[in-house]
Amino acid sequence: METTTHTAQLVVVGGGPGGYTAAFLAADRGLSVTLIDEASRPGGVCLHRGCIPSKALLHAAKVLTDARQASGFGVSFGKPSIDLDQLRGWKNDVVAKLTGGLAQLSKQRKVTYIQGRAAFDDARTVTVTSNDASETLTTITFEHAIIATGSRPARPSALVLDDPRVLDSTDALKLERIPSSLLVIGGGYIGLEIGSVYAALGTVVTIVEMAQNLLPGADADLVGVLARRINQVTDKVHVQTTVTSLAALRDGIASTLEGPGVGILTETYDNVLVAVGRIPNSDVPGLDKTRVKRDAHGFIVVDAQRRTAESSIFAIGDVAGEPMLAHKAFAEARVAVDAVTGGSATFKSHAIPAIVFTDPEVAWCGLTETEAAATGRQVVVAKFPWGASGRAFTLNRPDGVTKLVLDPESGQVLGVGLVGTGAGELIAEGVVAVEMGATASDLALSVHPHPTLSETLMEAAEVFFGESTHFYRPKRG
């Protein structure tokens, strides 16, 4: 077994969005950086088997849906056909191009990339075991380290079954086959996104969610628009329902459902997708040799600069707490590197956008109406229905809503919510409004282009004043 040693000012463990952002920024600022990951290229779960492949498949699903619905305005494509090998190959090619680009950027910045498994020896040393048969050991002495090891799919004990027909999100995105039936356990964003893909590809999909509504925690008025579409494209949606057991049969997976709407029901499905959340990859070997602490949920405990209880070690991204979002990891990476290089930046998460890339998309940022009600915060909600949007009608998608959560006295924008086609792109304006402390007046007086979906934000602000041109709502008394 070959052993090598070297030093680095910064070691980053984990090559996902947080990890490679931290490594690249630190290198841009002149630090010697070593980036460690088990994959052959940077990208992490998000790029290799999460955000990017899922969005590629969601795009294909939307094209299929649009083609099937185009006859409503006189355009016919015939019956769409699916070449599964070509679709899978296209998705894999997207991933390959993007990971290849990151590998090139890493070389351009002179970041040392090591493929292997990292373990901490102490608060200043990490050892990497290579993935290949040689099992080369590389010992790195560092000044600072950033842990960005991400998360993995959760699998409750009742849903553990050693059968390849029981999938997690990683398995489902491989797109090895189109099953005739699929049970999706979990009505959060992962379950809804992947379930939507398979439904568009022709699978009979059933979704089970234990909470009262799909997308637990999101505002009910936004979820309601999506729920109506989900009910149309899937076979069944069961809320307030739990899957209590799975059993392997010759012809499928027998799944027992319990809930007020179904009683106790056992159904058999070709495949089962377990999408009940993710857990942090905080079980990094050797952390017990440092002062790094984890909380009751397994997240690494960090301060506002993402520094752990060990002053030389930081943690960012999924492993450092909710929300588990790539763009949150991007932002935390910049804060941590700023701290490493002597800066004073801190991380605040109140305006981080959340997006569900279903069709229609759901997006929100800042204070939600649900959170305001739970905390007793007095707010005014101004909504503009997309049924009053000319652009939404030209897209044949008037089934959307734009809402502003506003301070009743100052009109300050505290939160923004959207549901509709392209909502994920529109929410960025909401993020800027919340971050900059904009008011309804600021949005209303900012001239938006017509006809666009973006002008629904302007018109929602006008609703607050009772002066929306395309939607009548009397002024507040």
Does residue 134 register a pLDDT over 70?
A: no
Specify if 471 maps to a domain.
no
pLDDT above 80 for 136 = no
Note whether 447 and 368 are same-domain residues: yes
- Model confidence at 1, pLDDT cuts 50, 70, 90, reads low
Q: Which of 259-263, 328-332, 361-365 has the lowest mean pLDDT?
A: 259-263
> Is 353 strand, coil or helix?
coil
Catalytic pick among 6, 297, 350, 450: 450
400-410 pLDDT, tens digit per residue, is 999 999 999 99
Q: Looking at the structure, tell me whether residues 260 and 405 fall in a common domain.
A: no
Question: Are residues 124 and 26 part of one domain?
Answer: yes
Task: Verify that 143 and 287 share a domain, yes or no.
Answer: yes
Q: Which domain holds residue 109?
A: 3-152+279-340
* Predicted local confidence at residue 76, as pLDDT: 86
H-type alpha helices, 242-401: 326-340, 369-375, 390-394
**pLDDT given at position 77:** 82
Residue 476 lies in a domain: no
pLDDT tens by residue, 30-45: 999 999 999 999 999 9
345 found inside a domain: no
Per-residue pLDDT at 81 exceeds 60: yes
Rounded to an integer, what distance in angstroms lies between the CA atom of residue 272 and that of residue 252? Answer: 9
Of 288, 316, 340, the domain-final residue: 340
Per-residue confidence band for 133, with pLDDT thresholds at 50, 70 and 90: low
- Does residue 477 form part of some domain? no
Question: In this structure, which long-range contacts are made by residues 232-236, counting pairs with CB atoms below 8 Å and at least 24 apart in sequence?
Answer: 233/65, 233/196, 233/199, 233/200, 233/205, 234/195, 234/199, 234/205, 234/206, 234/207, 235/181, 235/204, 235/205, 235/206, 236/206, 236/207
Same domain assignment for residues 138 and 189 = no
- Confidence class for position 244, pLDDT limits 50, 70, 90: very high
Q: What is the mean pLDDT of the chain?
A: 95
**How far apart are the C-alpha atoms of 113 and 216, rounded to whole Å?**
39
Domain CATH number, residue 401? 3.30.390.30
Q: For residue 477, is pLDDT > 60?
A: no
Report yes or no on 469 lying in a domain. Answer: no
- The total domain count for the chain is 3
When pLDDT is averaged across residues 312-323 and rounded to a whole number, the result is: 97
| CATH number of the domain encompassing residue 247 | 3.50.50.60
∠ CA 314-415-412, nearest 5°, is 115
Give the pLDDT confidence score for residue 476 in this predicted structure.
66
- 235 and 329, same structural domain? no
Indicate if 34 and 138 belong to the same structural domain: yes
Read off the pLDDT of residues 250-268 as tens digits, 9 standing for 90 and up.
Answer: 999 999 999 998 999 999 9
Segment 281-302 shows an average pLDDT of 97
Largest distance between two CA atoms of the chain: 78
Residue 470 domain flag: no
Predicted confidence band of residue 457 (pLDDT cuts 50, 70, 90): very high
Kindly tell me if the per-residue pLDDT of 473 is higher than 70.
yes
Residues 189 and 312 occupy one common structural domain: no
From 97, 151, 92, 120, select the one nearest 36 (Cα to Cα).
120
Per residue in 86-118, pLDDT (tens digit) is: 999 999 999 999 999 999 999 999 999 999 999
User: Given a cut of 90, is residue 249 above it in pLDDT?
Assistant: yes
Identify whether 470 is a catalytic site residue.
no
For residues 331 and 226, state if they share a domain: no
Say which residues have a Cβ less than 8 Å from residue 87's Cβ, sequence separation at least 6: 57, 60, 175
User: Are residues 120 and 222 located together in one domain of the fold?
Assistant: no
Are 134 and 179 part of one and the same domain? no
